[in-house]
Structure 1
């Protein structure tokens, strides 16, 4: 045996496990399994450290070495399949709510702009002037606010009817955390995926985006205000989530439309890392 890639047992030699002969075809399959395991082993950052011990075992006890490689590869594949299955279950659980959304929830009464702003401040003002006033009110350093063009908001509203529930990746220092967003009329509610899985509709919110449509006909704009839990999100993180709403619901590319459709209609095929790829490609 010069290498695992050339491992072939002669046909004339009988290999017996539990008194049952192993067919030649099975030996070849085992060899491929061990070859794949060896590739993964070499890619391990600690391989060089133990390379001599591995070579010695391979030389002195080839059957034991092969057995350990097979066991390692089988365990790796088992864990990979388990992780894939858990991801599929998460997507299924997260999409269940989108299937049972009621028209009542989606058509909740919009909040009036007068509840958060003195209307006399914008009386007789142009859309651009109102935009500046709105950002002075809520777009300061610690605020989340936006002035959304009417066409973009109508796109958000339309897409939310067919995709009332979705996920967004949120960059963290040690990777990504996934956040569930749920639409209810002109409001969008956010909670972390782990809280959603635990508490469902009673999950604590980390961010709420409210859209005020009072000026959509007269000025062609919709004012958005965000309130968030400062113990769970920073300003930049809240803004990141608000921006992703625009990217997926307001002005979605074809790839983002496909992700929305897959999540809602074919959750078993949905992959969390596709969301991460979209975000990272956007950053680039």
Structure 2
């Protein structure tokens, strides 16, 4: 725990301080906490809700399930046990810290995060994803 955690949420303060982006936004977070405690609490609650939402509830999750089903139907099994099985977006990406960022800034953060990992990743603009999704629905094989 540090001095940034208030009496109203020292555990939350410690959790926020552990975030790699905390130093960058410390002043804004503290200002919001002092000037509008209700808004601060509301944002914390939204953050908790994001953590509870599985990726499978998104259209991307539906797309992944569709791809896995088609792969299984063809008799091929993915190398892993699935793409996302139970992971939430917020378990790998701090949604709250990037919600006010531009698409380009989010793309750069995403690329930097995965650059150090031994994995395949992509940043797909919404319009392209919508096109891929509609084609997958109309031409499933």
| TM-score (norm: length of structure 2) | 0.40
Which of the pair is proportionally richer in strand? Answer: 1
Which of the pair is proportionally richer in helix? Answer: 2
| TM-score (norm: length of structure 1) | 0.23
